[in-house]
Amino acid sequence: MFALLWVPATVLASALQVARNGLQRGLVPSAGPWGATLVRFLFGLPFSLVFVAAAAIVTPQARPHLTPVFWAAAMTGAVAQVLATAALLVAMRRAGFAVGTALQQSSLPLAAILGLIIFHDQLTVVAWIGVAITTAGLAALTWPRGATGEKPLSGAMFGLLSGLCFGFSLNAFRHATMAMEPAHPVCAAVASVAVVQAMQAAVLTMWLGFRDRGALVAVVRGWRESLLAGLCGASASACWFLALGLAPAAPVRAVGVIEAPMAALAGRRFFAEKLHARQILAGLAVIVGVVMTTLR
């Protein structure tokens, strides 16, 4: 019944993620990267709890299993996602919104390799060729030359770090969702989001309370942007978890590459960024690679 639901869920997650990233980037100058990272989890938690309540009503027969396997996977993914988000925000500020967003797609080949090693996910030869083409296209698309950010080279490094951490979190969250309730992926997806976001919000709030109270004040002052970012973030996370509960991480991440052209349009519209012909051609190669990677 849910076999093909992962594709539209991934596309919707990508669009919501671009919106959330843009809102978070706007908070970086005042709240810093860690304060802007907190926004994603703290203000997204109330919406995640609403999604859990709705899922419980729709699927009352679901029985979440909070086993040690779930907690281990959830905590691993939570830490990796926090680091990935902070690195992404720094990359977007230093290398540009579109370039920073595209660089995090380096998680595609990493997700494929980790999925093969950890979960024994089997992809076809065509899909692996698609991973290679997508990786090559991303390398050309995100090469820092001509970037419009402040420090493109260091921004590229943070972008790659973001992709590495997202690669770990993707597979960890897939494992957590499957461990919680494999028979009801929708319920498991939204419940996993809520549990993970609660952990992330609590730890980051306490850490900033000791280390940077000014960032907490800036987050509260920008509550309107923070609340909207939280809604987009919670909705995106729910869609990501749902997709990862229905399909291996590699094809989910491949379809998620659609976030790159979305970010390019957003960067041009809201941050006055432009892409060169080389980057446009590389983007077309990425699209071809995405289509091939989704063939399983």
The model's pLDDT over 9-30, given as tens digits with 9 standing for 90+, comes to 888 988 898 888 888 877 888 8
Q: Which range, of 110-114, 253-257, 277-281, averages the lowest pLDDT? A: 110-114
> Within a domain: residue 123?
yes
> Within a domain: residue 94?
yes
End-to-end CA distance of the chain: 18
- Mean pLDDT for the chain overall: 77
- Contact indicator for 154, 206 with CB cutoff of 8 Å: no
> Within a domain: residue 152?
yes
pLDDT, position 250: 66
Residue 241: which of 19, 55, 21 has the closest Cα? 55
Print the domain residue range for 165.
6-293
- Label residue 62 exposed, middle or buried (CB < 10 Å: 0-12, 13-18, 19+): middle
Higher-scoring residue by pLDDT: 223, 290: 223
- List pLDDT tens digits, range 112-128: 666 666 666 666 787 77
> Considering its fold, how many domains does the chain have in total?
1
Q: Which range, of 208-212, 238-242, 249-253, averages the lowest pLDDT? A: 249-253
pLDDT confidence band for 257 (50 / 70 / 90): confident
> Within a domain: residue 100?
yes
How far, CA to CA in Å, does 123 sit from each of 103, 219, 289? Answer: 23, 42, 14
The backbone torsions φ and ψ at residue 212, rounded to the nearest 5 degrees and listed phi first, read -155, 80
> Within a domain: residue 90?
yes
pLDDT, position 115: 66
Q: Which range, of 116-130, 145-159, 210-224, 247-261, averages the lowest pLDDT? A: 145-159
* DSSP 8-state class, residue 150: S
pTM, full prediction: 0.71
> Within a domain: residue 137?
yes
Alpha-carbon torsion angle 214, 42, 241, 143, nearest 10: -20
> Within a domain: residue 61?
yes
- List pLDDT tens digits, range 158-198: 777 887 787 778 778 888 888 887 777 778 878 888 899 89
pLDDT above 90 (res 248): no
> Within a domain: residue 1?
no
